[in-house]
């Protein structure tokens, strides 16, 4: 991919993320669909757009595709699928997904992403009124 193509991809990804943050999920979706070769960030923006529009099965599929896009994609996919499970009230699934993702992040020496997942694990426990496991989440 040449320099101009990288710039265009970065611009389209930024536009899609801004659209998502503004609640304009349709614009985000159209920006993403204009990208020939999506990358991890683009796929993440697509999943956000789908979740924002209530397209949870589509978001799940996008996160699963993201999970096949290298270690960074797998980490983001674990966070997204865990968050989606929390949103759907599947707290045990969320804990399982997030703990596995955090373990992979620890193995990859990505302590920031692991910490974010451990925080989400604690939150899932708290939503179940289980403060003990929430405090122990690590």
In this structure, the answer to whether residues 83 and 135 fall within a common structural domain is: yes
pLDDT at 12 over 80: no
Report the percent of the chain where pLDDT is more than 90.
62
pLDDT at 3 over 80: no
Range of the domain at 102: 71-138
Res 26: pLDDT? 83
Query: Domain tally for the chain?
Result: 2
pLDDT confidence tier of residue 6, bands split at 50, 70 and 90: low
Domain boundary among 43, 68, 93: 68
In this structure, the answer to whether residues 91 and 62 fall within a common structural domain is: no
What is the rounded distance in angstroms from the CA atom of residue 50 to the CA atom of residue 59? 5
Domain boundary among 35, 68, 101: 68
Helix (H) or strand (E) holding 8: helix 3-21
55-63 average pLDDT score: 96
Q: Say what the pTM is.
A: 0.85
127: nearest Cα among 86, 66, 98: 86
Please count the residues of the chain. 138
In this structure, the answer to whether residues 18 and 77 fall within a common structural domain is: no
Let me know: does 35 contact 5? Beta carbons within 8 Å.
Answer: no
In this structure, the answer to whether residues 63 and 99 fall within a common structural domain is: no
31-49 average pLDDT score: 86
126: nearest Cα among 112, 110, 137: 137
């Amino acid at each position: 991919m040449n320099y101009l193509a990288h710039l265009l991809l970065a611009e389209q990804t930024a536009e899609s993320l801004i659209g998502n943050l503004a609640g304009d999920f349709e614009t985000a979706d159209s920006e993403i669909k204009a990208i020939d070769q999506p990358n991890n960030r683009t796929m993440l923006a697509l999943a956000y757009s789908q979740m924002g529009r209530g397209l949870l099965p589509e978001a799940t599929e996008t996160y699963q595709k993201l999970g096949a896009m290298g270690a960074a994609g797998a980490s983001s996919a674990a966070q997204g699928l865990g968050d989606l499970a929390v949103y759907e009230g599947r707290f045990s699934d969320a804990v399982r997904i997030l703990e596995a993702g955090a373990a992979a992040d620890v193995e990859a020496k990505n302590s920031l992403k692991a910490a974010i997942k451990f925080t989400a694990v604690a939150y899932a426990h708290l939503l179940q009124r289980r403060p003990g496991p929430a405090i122990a989440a690590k």
